[in-house]
Amino acid sequence: MKISSIETRVVGAQTPGSVLSDRNYVFVLVHTDEGLTGLGEATLEGHDRSVRAAIEEMADLVVGEDPTRIEYLTQVMTRQMFWRGGVIKGTAVAGVELALWDIVGKSAGLPVHQLVGGAVRDRIRVYTNGWSVGSTDPVELRDRAQAAVAAGHRAFKFSLVLPSWPLRDAELLRSVATAAAAVREAVGPDAPLMFDGHGRYDADQAIAIGRVLEDVRVYFYEEPVQPGRLGDMARVAQALDLTIAAGERLASKEEFVPLLSNGAVSVVQPDLAHCHGFGEGMKIAQLADAFGAWIAPHGPMSPVLTAISTHLDAVAPNFLIQERLHLDDWRENVIRTPLKVEDGFLPLPTGPGWGIELDDDICSAHPRVSVQVPRLFRADSSVADW
């Protein structure tokens, strides 16, 4: 069996009035001369054209090759060209690599997780994200959280996109405290509740916000500062009685080493569509396990990536919880059998490969759109305001 061609399919994922719609999904289809086609995802918000161009460059390296030689082809795509690249290249490699795993699973007639040791759990715990985006009003946040509970979710992550002054912004602190209390009231005293800082804060502000989050018993505090600021991340972790998580912006296992070895994080969050794919994701999970850390894969993209991530979740002994975007529109149906959360869990995937197929009609009905990224910098605000 040989790779005959690589196709990218871009689906405009914007829906007016919906949450997290500032993106185009990028799906990768690897075709073979035996008629098998593998599916991967290479969505990178705001950079779909760059990712597609990188995939076109890589096609010259892998077309004609045996698709079952996944590690070899991953190394070729990563190392053959002089520049190893960052997240754009990591995303392009991931899209192809994920599709190769799908081909191997389909060829064997087995789910991918059975090809790499088999499941160590019988269902996948998930949390919902995206339900809070666009709101800072405590009443509205409470109502949205209650709606997410009604939809079958039992764990929740929220964030507040608010301007911030560089140091000790009292107004921001009050906003976070009020919002966190409202969400905690809505989801109950025991539900895992996570807060995402998106790296917006300096270490002092992050610690001050963390004190508030301690009061509402947050499950983990994600990206309180930029993950590249290792000293700041470690200082936040040492100052708070909270679990610190990070990793969605990191593209390779090497980038996780300093965060783990310095005790800056206890939960790592690789995104399989950004970190060079499933194989690298497994290595990151094993690396985290060696440091006694947990893995909670990042995944606020399409249901394709969520389904793919459940295979890593199934086999990683140190798996904690899986992110899933809260969707309530056509995007749920981009795969022919939509994922359904029941009492906070997804079932183990059972079909060959990833166990999913794109719905071609849905994809065709939503062509690529020009993404309008909001401008968050203001002349009177701080550089943390993003």
Q: Which residues are catalytic?
A: 198, 298
| DSSP type of residue 25 | E
Q: Other C-beta atoms within 10 Å of 277: how many?
A: 29
339 in Cβ contact with 324 (< 8 Å): yes
**Phi and psi at residue 324, to the nearest 5°:** -140, 130
Q: Distance (Å, rounded) from C-alpha 197 to C-alpha 322?
A: 18
| DSSP type of residue 207 | H
Say which residues have a Cβ less than 8 Å from residue 99's Cβ, sequence separation at least 6.
Answer: 6, 28, 29, 30, 37, 38, 39, 40
Sign (positive or negative) of CA dihedral 182, 187, 192, 194: negative
Closest residue by Cα to residue 204 from 178, 170, 168: 168
Q: Distance (Å, rounded) from C-alpha 335 to C-alpha 303?
A: 7
Task: Work out the burial of residue 165: count CB atoms within 10 Å of its CB; fewer than 13 is exposed, 13-18 middle, 19 or more buried.
Answer: middle
Query: 177-210 in b/e burial notation, b at 16+ Cβ within 10 A?
Result: bbbbbbbbebbeeebbbbbbbebbbbbbbbbbbb
Read off the tokens for 51.
Answer: 């990712």
Place of tokens 């006694």: 292
Closest residue by Cα to residue 283 from 36, 18, 71: 71
277 in Cβ contact with 297 (< 8 Å): no
Largest CA distance in the chain: 63
Q: Distance (Å, rounded) from C-alpha 200 to C-alpha 206?
A: 9
Q: Distance (Å, rounded) from C-alpha 156 to C-alpha 30?
A: 35
385 in Cβ contact with 378 (< 8 Å): yes
